[in-house]
Amino acid sequence: MNADRRVPNYQRIADALMARIDSGEFPSGSRLPTEPQLKAEYDVSSTTVRNAVKALAAAGIVETRHGAGTFVIERKLLTINATTTEDLDRRRGIVAQDSWSTDVKEAGREPDQRFECLNVAASDEQAKLLGVEPGAWLVMRRCWRTVDGIPASIEASVFPRWLVDALPELGSPHDIAQGTTSFVAERGYPMEVHLDYVSGRPFTREEESFFRAPAGVQALIRGRVSYDKPDGRVLRIMETVYRNDMHKILYVVAGRGNATSR
Amino acid sequence: MNADRRVPNYQRIADALMARIDSGEFPSGSRLPTEPQLKAEYDVSSTTVRNAVKALAAAGIVETRHGAGTFVIERKLLTINATTTEDLDRRRGIVAQDSWSTDVKEAGREPDQRFECLNVAASDEQAKLLGVEPGAWLVMRRCWRTVDGIPASIEASVFPRWLVDALPELGSPHDIAQGTTSFVAERGYPMEVHLDYVSGRPFTREEESFFRAPAGVQALIRGRVSYDKPDGRVLRIMETVYRNDMHKILYVVAGRGNATSR
DNA sequence: AGGTATTTGTCCGTATGTATA
DNA sequence: CTATACATACGGACAAATACC
């Protein structure tokens, strides 16, 4: 027994429960004892039991469901391929579908998305990238995506004014089934290079209301700025917000590791 | 979107505090009123005030410091370039330094790292990638890294047995200042292609004790499997655990967006 | 360096609300 | 409809870390 007084009681109970989960006593998806039961079992107050369960929830080990109980979580990661593009899909015979749907279906899961097109004011960052004034009107195309019925990601793209003028379909309130990347490319504006950044943060209140994810789940963010050529014109600014417990993002990186071979 | 009419009291207080933060009343780094003050101000119990502050902390808005107070957080993101390699550094005249130190110093911040080399048992996944039995002995090289004195990331690399036999320095308990990528490349084993995956999750208890990050901060994970050529031999399996509120990972992706041009 | 006030962390007991089975 | 289970809320006590004199 660890009688280290520096470790709070609720943390010791959390550790004990975690050990019981690891031992197989509570397999993935199973229900933990109720809080009153744990309270009696460990002879502590309700506060302490709740803190213990909250610690496990924050660590992504369990999920509490109001009125139902506390359940052990199992993570199923979906791989999002950030390197392949639609031309690769075509070689595999996939034509009229965006690359996200392809990824999800190939994982044997069911994709669904709700689409919307809206006019937005350019943020400072967007304005700088596009060379317009902050607050300028931009067209945003946004997808709210679910996997097996679970809210999984939100993808938002904004396009420069001149591109929307050239390709009015970008302003239409209808989804472009083949994906905007290949649509824009086919019309004469191929994206030759993308700058991606990946980070993570807690959900905003707004995102929370869409995802309704358990505690311990945060956002995995992928930003992508697409250019017609290196240091060229920006064709699209995209940001995707993923549930971080459902996704991993894959990149194939060309190594140039042999410094002496240049 | 679902419109929950009933919002808990603590959430309304959290929203009110967030609005006051956004309004500039509490700028970044400033201290919020103490909990007894908030309790009096909003005329609620200590539980409710604490729940409100916890909600803000979980959302990454504020950070509570034991005995000191509650402070508004400012995020400073460090960019980790996952695409450039040491040969690029050399062209810029940087030679005897790994790419991480380069990135951190270029951001005007102070990198520091503690290195260790240990013998570990291969996990199932590592064993599969390396073509050995699970549990086989592998050499792991690990860096515990701080930025401006703040624990920022842990990077762990494992190498196949045959490569350590060929390059015994990989088993040495000393850091390889130039970075292992270029070291291994110079000795005749260039890494021509990397497979990266990026994801996020809560810290493990062990990671927590190193990072000591406030609530609302999680791990940003980058895994990298490096090959000598596409579908070739695995030269290294690397996993880096970053504080997600301190890092974004940058990738330069070659676009092949023009499907008709093939 | 030490002591004291301040501030958050932990823990107790209890009551009531609300979602789920 | 009822019982169950977690969520919210009240009020208070003491511990532990920090700040300040």
Nucleotides on chain D within 7 angstroms of protein Cβ: 3-13, 16-19
Does residue A70 approach strand D to less than 7 Å at its CB?
yes
pTM score: 0.93
Say if residue B262's pLDDT is above 90.
Answer: no
pLDDT at residue B165 in the model? 95
Q: What letters, b where the CB count within 10 A reaches 16 and e where it falls short, cover A190-207?
A: bbbbbbbbbbbbbbeeeb
Contact B255, B225 (CB under 8 A): no
From A86, A192, A254, residue closest to B259, measured CB to CB: A86
Residue-wise pLDDT tens digits, B113-125: 999 999 999 999 9
pLDDT at residue A5 in the model? 58
By C1' distance from the Cα of A57, the closest nucleotide is D6
Given pLDDT bands bounded at 50, 70 and 90, which one contains residue B73? very high
Residues of A in contact with B224 (CB under 8 A): 253
Phi/psi at A118 (nearest 5 deg)? -140, 155
The string of DSSP letters for A159-228 reads: E-HHHHHH-GGGGSSS--TT-HHHHHHHTT----EEEEEEEEEPPPHHHHHHH-PPTT--EEEEEEEEES
A59 close contact with B: CB closer than 8 A: yes
On average, the pLDDT of chain B sits at 90
Identify from B244, B245, B246 which residue to disrupt to test chain A contact, counting A C-beta atoms within 10 A and taking the largest count. B244
Given pLDDT bands bounded at 50, 70 and 90, which one contains residue B101? confident
d(CA A52, CA A35): 10
- Which 3-state string (H, E, C) describes chain B? CCCCCCCCHHHHHHHHHHHHHHCCCCCCCCECCCHHHHHHHHCCCHHHHHHHHHHHHHCCCEEEECCCEEEECCCCCEEEECCCCHHHHHHCCCCCCCHHHHHHHHCCCCEEEEEEEEEEECCHHHHHHHCCCCCCEEEEEEEEEEECCEEEEEEEEEECHHHHHHCHHHHCCCCCCCCHHHHHHHCCCCCCEEEEEEEEECCCHHHHHHHCCCCCCCEEEEEEEEECCCCCCEEEEEEEEEECCCEEEEEEEECCCCHHHC
Instruction: Give the B window 116-155 contacts with A, CB below 8 Å.
Output: none
Residue-wise pLDDT tens digits, A200-230: 999 999 999 999 999 999 999 999 999 998 8
Q: Which amino acid is at A174?
A: H
* Gap from B132 CA to chain A (nearest CA, Å): 24
Q: Give kind and range of the element (H or E) at residue A12.
A: helix A9-22
Put simply, the answer to whether A190 touches B257 (Cβ < 8 Å) is yes
Does residue B28 approach strand C to less than 7 Å at its CB?
no
Say if residue A187's pLDDT is above 80.
Answer: yes
Per DSSP, A229 falls in state: S
By C1' distance from the Cα of B32, the closest nucleotide is C7
